[in-house]
Structure 1
């Protein structure tokens, strides 16, 4: 599932020099936003944590607190997001999505696009910071089949084998076809078991077999059988089984070209995928929409916020 990042480790990394550079950028009258952007986008998250620690050692202050005094708006939010440890950033995003703005798409993004070990780490860190079991939080916040899907994904027990069983693919494809043709309605249990349990390579093979049996893609069946959040999460799993970069390209396009710009989601995706597969997402965006993601981001944002996003997408 991993691919090509945009942000890579700095080969000549010196935490003390970078801490001093940021201190100079925010000290006195005026702020050197360009210098801040350069430091944050030319170092990995791990290196940024070292810079934070060195800044506190050298100046006796928290870097995040100092930036808050000098910055504002989405530029500030994005800078601060880049300073949060990777998993903790996702934990905080989940907390806000569940407890504050009920951003279902954010919850789905995180639970369907990360490895089992990522989800386990996120659950542990969520419990440590917020003193709540994420599974219980999800159970209390949601209901019905969508709740069951989220709780299944939270077990972090999806197969991650790269092997594909052709006989199994045919068998499960037939079960999916039969499950969607029941006289008394769709057998949601079969869809949940298959889509939330098998590895993505195996799912891709199952969906291919389904298309041959049914004469239409699995997306058609899902659109006919499900609606709302359940439709969203199942569609997402199908897209990821085929190409995770394509999934995020579609998500970003909707954030940019929907009703108003969804800055929160754009920022989250760019920050969280910058060291995983953001370069692949850019390529998938270009292939699907015949447009550059950098151009669309530039057209839809402004100021230092735009400059920061563009540097995350294409660091120097």
Structure 2
């Protein structure tokens, strides 16, 4: 991004692209053969499903149903279904990766949001990662998929599960109140001063001011606010928020700020957090790799290596050496990450 407010554009580069010479029927037959009889050939499943685009996987699902889903009239057998067969043959984190891949990305993210909210407690970090880091067009698709799957609106469920400024931040993300193209240097200067006065410049913090300004600011305009804030404070907006706030609201606002600066770097940071320390946050590792592999996982890989001095591929491999990821689960992740 340049200091003039004209942001550098970068091309999103996926690691999983449509396979050449694609044949859905041949893939369906190969998958059926891999699951028939005693034992399962997991490598065949990886080689097919981790190396096809989501649209191609949907075509394979349809072909599988046509080829193997027929039942004789009067039979009490259920039609054979690819996802059901995969679930019956696979298990653990390997199953979570493969079944995640079989869902359209918006449906997959909707299921992750539902999982984050159902039951006792709420996984606020999942709500933040999905809703505070994505462009509005992706959020619209996820919200539509959520309502289709669960019969209730995503906005209503978030309002029932969260509260205060954090709730307002998520609802604003769902309502798409940001204009990503408009920017106004004079207004940015004024808003930076408001933010300073709401935080560092007073006793206590007016969290609502941060939510209202950053929740409305499009990417270009937000970047100008951050520049002006540093001129006033001498600190970055991230440093200021970390000293003034905590908890889920801080994480949500930081996600918005970090994705303005560099969305792939935000996800690279999330991946490192999932793998560092004792144990691996497999849910986060799977969720990010599955949901970003057809969008910008190559960009995320680049930023991960720049930030951490090691490749994402080697980091996942080292998790396997530590016993955190292993076998087919590890091989599926490596296939999605790609060696290039």
Scaled by the length of structure 1, the TM-score of the pair is 0.95
Measured after TM superposition, the shift of residue 124 of structure 1 is: 2.0
Q: Which residue in the other structure is 2:13 paired with?
A: 4
1:7-52, CA deviations, whole angstroms, 9 ceiling, x for partnerless residues?
Answer: 0111211111111111111112221111110111211111100000
Note if contact 2:15-2:298 (Cα within 8 Å) is conserved in structure 1.
Answer: yes
Q: Whole-Å Cα distance in 2 between the matches of residues 50 and 160 of structure 1? A: 34
Q: Whole-Å Cα distance in 2 between the matches of residues 177 and 125 of structure 1? A: 39
Q: Does 1:289 align with 2:298?
A: no
Mapping for residues 141-290 of structure 1, pairs under 5 Å? 141-161=161-181, 163-181=182-200, 183=202, 185-290=204-309
1:85-104, CA deviations, whole angstroms, 9 ceiling, x for partnerless residues?
Answer: 11111110100011146221
Q: Whole-Å Cα distance in 2 between the matches of residues 259 and 242 of structure 1? A: 30
Q: Does 1:54 align with 2:63?
A: yes
Q: Which residue in the other structure is 1:63 paired with?
A: 82
**Structure having the larger proportion of residues in helix:** 1
Greater mean alpha carbon deviation, residues 70-79 or residues 151-160: 151-160
Q: Which residue in the other structure is 2:330 paired with?
A: 306
Q: Which residue in the other structure is 1:113 paired with?
A: 133
Secondary structure of 1:243's counterpart equals helix
Q: Which residue in the other structure is 1:132 paired with?
A: 152
- Pick closer, same or farther for the CA change 1:264–1:10 going to 2, 3 Å: same
Q: Does 1:41 align with 2:50?
A: yes
Note if contact 2:180-2:221 (Cα within 8 Å) is conserved in structure 1.
Answer: no
Q: Whole-Å Cα distance in 2 between the matches of residues 132 and 290 of structure 1? A: 44
Q: Does 1:77 align with 2:100?
A: no
Greater mean alpha carbon deviation, residues 60-69 or residues 264-273: 60-69
1:227-256, CA deviations, whole angstroms, 9 ceiling, x for partnerless residues?
Answer: 111111111111111100110011000100
How big is the alpha-carbon RMSD for the aligned residues of Structure 1 and Structure 2?
1.7
Note if contact 2:131-2:174 (Cα within 8 Å) is conserved in structure 1.
Answer: yes
Measured after TM superposition, the shift of residue 185 of structure 1 is: 2.8
Q: Which residue in the other structure is 1:32 paired with?
A: 41
- Pick closer, same or farther for the CA change 1:229–1:259 going to 2, 3 Å: farther
Measured after TM superposition, the shift of residue 2 of structure 1 is: 6.3
Note if contact 1:56-1:63 (Cα within 8 Å) is conserved in structure 2.
Answer: yes
Note if contact 1:94-1:107 (Cα within 8 Å) is conserved in structure 2.
Answer: yes
1:264-290, CA deviations, whole angstroms, 9 ceiling, x for partnerless residues?
Answer: 110010000001100010111100110
Greater mean alpha carbon deviation, residues 287-296 or residues 186-195: 186-195
Q: Which residue in the other structure is 2:73 paired with?
A: none
Note if contact 1:31-1:70 (Cα within 8 Å) is conserved in structure 2.
Answer: yes
